[in-house]
Amino acid sequence: MHDDHTITLVGRIEPGTPDWIYLPFDVPDEIDEISVRYTYDKTESPAGSPGNALDIGIFDERGHHLASPARPAPGFRGWSGGARESFTIGRTHATPGYVPGAINAGTWHIVLGPYTVSPAGMSYRVDVTLRRDADRGAERGKTTEGLSRPSTPPTSVAPQGADTDSANLTSRKDRTRAVGRGAAWYRGDLHVHTVHSDGRWSPEELVAAARDAGLDFIVSTEHNTPTASATWDNLARPDLLVIDGEEVTTRNGHLVAAGLRDGAWLDWRFRAGDGHLPHILDQIHSLGGIAVAAHPYAPCIGCAWKFGYSGLDAVEVWNGSWTPDDEMSLRHWDATLVADRANGSWLPAVAASDSHHAGQPLGLGQTVVWAEDLTRDAIVAGIRSGRVYLAESCDVELEFTARSGEHVAGIGERLRVPETAGVRCECVVRGVTEGVLQFVTDRGTAAAFPIGSEAGSDEPVTWCTAPQESAYVRVEVRRPAAATGLPFGPMLALTNPIFLG
């Protein structure tokens, strides 16, 4: 039996409204569950104008201030963006994307995020139901079907009253490592989604799909929420590494944080002009992670990266099936290599599927990392160093080296030889039956060779240059251009550069 009380919050949003609207409501003592349902106008907009889209989340009585190093623990209790019309938070359970735990008395806030607003504006209604169990002792032991239960509370957003003692933390499975092959190339997908944000994969389905795709690791990157973290404890398999992360979904671009500590949460409520990104980058790095600009030229509203690349660790140049926006991301990233070479710092390129469901294949594209072992820290270190190539699937393998006398360098490394020294570049490609291999330098595509190999072939394609001619060399393997009608074909694989001199 439940004792319910519903609070209705209504309002209207016009074009030009701030990014975030906070609706306060009071929670009395002894509330066991909060359920929220919302609606808003979805009328058709004039041609050429966006329709209405309204995101939603919630903060508890600890406040909704923007997280920063000085104030690291706001009352974040969940976010579902526009993926759900309702959600529930209980003491022992919560809708995926939301944090279960104590329902403390005080002023809570619904946060609304007007993603797009039509010229006519939109009206909204939010119904907040506060539920008190009549038989509190019996009901607290139950779990609502379809809702998630907590294990360790998310870092920086632990609900008040949650168990965070050291014994509880150390008793959890060690998900920072899996059974690897020692120092080797490991294949992974750095950007995936489940029902904990706007995906349709269940965590169980995602793990099965990762194995079918031949992946060694995946990075869990839900939009603006860490709640998937607790689900991986019971799903982690010895041969698959699941790494915690988050897709920080701002209105000026999306940031993938990979390699976070279990349950860590990052705030997303800022724009490029706010000057807040350095605080987020500091937080990511303090948690042991890397920061990756996601799909920098994606055409969706708010998706393109507007922050610049200072302080980042990598750029996602390949997102899902190869499309023109990936081509733009690749060309812009390549242009940064020329300027960055002078100061000895450069950003590696990575790939990911951004898969939300079975219709978006996991591992298309994928990041292949040279790492000391299949551990979270080793994978993060490998990506940060640039010892990475990108591939369409696990069928495509690539080896790329540059040699000069006894000196040899691989992907992401520097061949330190005199400017006039002859350099022999060698690339072996397996699993491509028909394609074009291009050697790309700071001057552009310097050489191109048709290739057609049988699986397991070790015949290298070679090309010679010198440091005075090529500041760096990298490789692209594409399908024939005739398949697209463009001067270039879809990507099959590409490498990070080998720097010369």
**How confident is the model at residue 1, as a pLDDT?**
53
pLDDT above 50: residue 163 = no
208 and 345 part of one domain = yes
**How confident is the model at residue 149, as a pLDDT?**
45
181 and 329 part of one domain = yes
CATH number at residue 114: 2.60.120
**How confident is the model at residue 61, as a pLDDT?**
97
For residue 232, give the 3-state DSSP assignment.
helix
Query: Of 170, 189, 221, which marks where a domain is finished?
Result: 170
**How confident is the model at residue 159, as a pLDDT?**
39
Instruction: Give the model confidence (pLDDT) of 396-455 as tens digits.
Output: 999 999 999 999 999 999 999 999 999 999 999 999 999 999 999 999 999 999 998 654
Q: Which residues in 406-457 belong to E strands, given as ranges?
A: 407-410, 414-415, 423-430, 435-441, 444-451
The whole model's pTM is what?
0.92
Under the banding of pLDDT at 50, 70 and 90, the label for residue 484 is low
Mean pLDDT score of the chain, rounded to an integer?
90
378 and 402 part of one domain = no
401 and 387 part of one domain = no
For the segment 114-119, the average pLDDT, to the nearest whole number, is 96
422 and 365 part of one domain = no
115 and 227 part of one domain = no
Alpha helices of 264-341 — where are they, by DSSP H?
A: 277-286, 324-341
Instruction: Give the model confidence (pLDDT) of 201-250 as tens digits.
Output: 999 999 999 999 999 999 999 999 999 999 998 897 899 999 999 999 99
**Structural domain boundaries enclosing 483:** 397-501
Quote the CA–CA distance of 72 and 50 in Å, as a whole number. Answer: 35
52 and 100 part of one domain = yes
Angle at the Cα of 413 (from 407 to 415), degrees rounded to 5?
Answer: 30
Instruction: Give the model confidence (pLDDT) of 315-354 as tens digits.
Output: 999 999 999 999 999 999 999 998 876 667 899 999 999 9
The amino acid sitting at 151 is S
Query: Of 170, 204, 234, which marks where a domain is finished?
Result: 170
Contact 346, 309 (CB under 8 A): no
Instruction: Give the model confidence (pLDDT) of 36-56 as tens digits.
Output: 999 999 988 888 888 999 999
203 and 286 part of one domain = yes
40 and 19 part of one domain = yes
Tally of domains in the chain: 3
Query: Of 170, 188, 209, which marks where a domain is finished?
Result: 170
CATH number at residue 421: 2.60.40
Give every strand in the sheet of 106-116, ordered side by side: 21-27, 106-116, 53-59, 76-81
Quote the CA–CA distance of 9 and 107 in Å, as a whole number. Answer: 14
Under the banding of pLDDT at 50, 70 and 90, the label for residue 488 is confident
Quote the CA–CA distance of 210 and 195 in Å, as a whole number. Answer: 16
CATH number at residue 261: 3.20.20.140
Angle at the Cα of 192 (from 186 to 193), degrees rounded to 5?
Answer: 155
pLDDT above 50: residue 150 = no
355 and 479 part of one domain = no
Q: How far apart are the first and last CA of the chain?
A: 75
177 and 165 part of one domain = no
330 and 465 part of one domain = no
Contact 93, 149 (CB under 8 A): yes
Q: Counting Cβ atoms within 10 Å, is residue 271 exposed (0-12), middle (13-18) or buried (19+)?
A: middle
